[in-house]
């Protein structure tokens, strides 16, 4: 059956039942789906963090590269990643779906199953939403999270806290998601499940970010638009510069095997990794690196350093790589 045959109210009721079947209601939710707005109880002593991000067919994904269930996962994951980048724990989410009406209802079920997969894994409650008609499919989330605040200072990760001398550190394997997308666009993803999964099912680094902030790390962002682009953002916000040593990029074995010539390019400028990019005080780095390995399986790698900004020079210098470069921007500035 098509969405327009089911109608808005029956669709919402169906999706609400589907979420309820998967997600046990947390005590912090006072009113979920069903009234004019949702009610939830913030944790005393914690700071609230809010974010919103939308995925639009033809802009952020195509049916060729994303299945419905992956789309549900990823549309919530990109928001949870923004909360992770602030060192927040995700709490509650509302979702707007814009549908043409021609979709199969079972596909919208699968979309919500993917949302529930992510919500279960990360402890998010989906407590409301909106359903509208549109010429293109959109899935937009607004997600609220919390960061502990003690004595007026929150354990938050900010973009503007990098200092010259800090180590430039990343989580995960940069470039895998971009590699997965390229393979999917060529219908060549099947031999590379890890790369395809990196694109379709990014794993927001929530626990990792909370842990890092407890170790005293204060500066990070998430890598949604490509590693170099994110380092630029940290540098611009902090008024510093940085260098990256291409030889230290932790390219995954799959990336190197699938793209023997282009691993570094994809790692530097491929987007949608949803890993953390951070500045760590040089005296803390060795201790953090050792303790990290006992806690997490994803790698933590020093790939460069921050330094004082110099007039007339670019903010981010890549050492040891002279190959092609490219980045993704919604509204590129003409050069």
CB of 113 to ligand ADP, least distance (A): 13
Residue sitting closest to ligand ADP (CB): 128
CB-nearer residue toward ligand ADP: 137 or 168: 137
Q: Work out the angle between the directed axes of helices 105-122 and 8-22 (0-180°, nearest 10).
A: 30
CB-nearer residue toward Mg ion: 4 or 281: 4
**Number of neighbours of residue 28 by Cβ within 10 angstroms:** 15
Residues 6+ apart with CB under 8 A from 106: none
The site partner of 95 among Mg ion, ligand ADP, none (C-beta below 5 to 8 Å per kind) is ligand ADP
Residues that bind ligand ADP (CB under 6 A): 12, 15-16, 33-36, 95, 97, 128-131
Question: Is residue 130 a contact residue for Mg ion (CB under 5 A)?
Answer: yes
CA angle 250, 256, 258 (to 5 degrees): 140
Residue sitting closest to Mg ion (CB): 130
CB of 101 to Mg ion, least distance (A): 16
How many residues sit close enough to Mg ion to count as binding (CB under 5 A)? 1
Rounded CA separation 255/253 (Å) = 6
Beta strands in the chain (DSSP E): 29-31, 39-40, 46-56, 89-99, 125-133, 138-150, 153-154, 167-171, 219-222, 240-245, 276-280, 300-308, 316-319
CB-nearer residue toward ligand ADP: 76 or 217: 76
CB of 130 to Mg ion, least distance (A): 4
CB of 210 to ligand ADP, least distance (A): 27
CB-nearer residue toward ligand ADP: 128 or 175: 128
CB of 98 to ligand ADP, least distance (A): 10
Which three-class secondary structure state does DSSP give residue 228? helix
What stretches of 132-272 show up as alpha helix (H) in DSSP? 176-185, 193-200, 206-214, 227-238, 253-258, 263-269
Rounded CA separation 154/94 (Å) = 25
The site partner of 134 among Mg ion, ligand ADP, none (C-beta below 5 to 8 Å per kind) is none
Contact 255, 175 (CB under 8 A): yes
Rounded CA separation 332/335 (Å) = 9
The site partner of 12 among ligand ADP, Mg ion, none (C-beta below 5 to 8 Å per kind) is ligand ADP
The site partner of 72 among Mg ion, ligand ADP, none (C-beta below 5 to 8 Å per kind) is none
CB-nearer residue toward ligand ADP: 21 or 294: 21
The site partner of 172 among ligand ADP, Mg ion, none (C-beta below 5 to 8 Å per kind) is none
CB of 95 to Mg ion, least distance (A): 11
Phi, psi of 32 (to 5 degrees): -95, -145
Rounded CA separation 286/290 (Å) = 6
Rounded CA separation 306/279 (Å) = 8
CB of 128 to ligand ADP, least distance (A): 3
CB-nearer residue toward ligand ADP: 14 or 281: 14
The site partner of 169 among ligand ADP, Mg ion, none (C-beta below 5 to 8 Å per kind) is none
Binding residues for Mg ion (CB under 5 A): 130
């Amino acid at each position: 059956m098509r969405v327009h045959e089911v109608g808005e109210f029956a669709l919402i009721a169906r999706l609400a039942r589907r979420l309820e079947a998967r997600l046990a209601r947390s005590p912090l939710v006072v009113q979920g789906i069903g009234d004019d707005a949702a009610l939830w109880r913030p944790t005393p002593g914690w700071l609230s963090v809010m974010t919103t991000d939308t995925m639009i067919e033809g802009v952020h994904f195509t049916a060729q590269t994303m299945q419905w269930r992956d789309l549900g996962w990823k549309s919530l994951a990109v928001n949870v990643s923004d909360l992770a980048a602030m060192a927040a724990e995700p709490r509650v989410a509302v979702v707007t779906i814009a549908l043409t009406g021609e979709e199969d209802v079972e596909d919208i079920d699968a979309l919500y199953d993917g949302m529930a997969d992510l919500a279960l894994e990360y402890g998010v409650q989906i407590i409301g939403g909106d359903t509208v008609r549109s010429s293109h499919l959109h899935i937009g989330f607004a997600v609220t999270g919390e960061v502990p605040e003690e004595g007026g200072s929150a354990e938050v990760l900010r973009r503007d806290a990098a200092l010259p001398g800090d180590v430039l550190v990343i989580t995960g394997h940069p470039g895998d998601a971009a590699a997965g997308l390229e393979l999917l666009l060529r219908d060549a993803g099947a031999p590379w499940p890890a790369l395809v999964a990196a694109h379709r099912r990014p794993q927001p680094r929530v626990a990792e970010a909370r842990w890092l902030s407890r170790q005293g790390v204060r500066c990070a962002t998430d890598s949604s638009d490509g590693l170099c682009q994110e380092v630029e953002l940290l540098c611009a916000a902090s008024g510093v510069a940085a260098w990256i040593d291409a030889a230290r990029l932790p390219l995954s074995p799959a990336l190197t095997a699938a793209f023997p010539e282009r691993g570094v390019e994809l790692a530097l400028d491929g987007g949608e990794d949803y890993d953390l990019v951070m500045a760590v005080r040089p005296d803390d780095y060795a201790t953090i690196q050792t303790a990290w390995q006992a806690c997490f399986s994803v790698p933590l790698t020093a790939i460069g350093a921050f330094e004082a900004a110099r007039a007339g020079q670019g903010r981010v210098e890549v050492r040891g790589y002279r190959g092609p470069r490219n980045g993704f921007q919604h509204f590129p500035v003409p050069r």
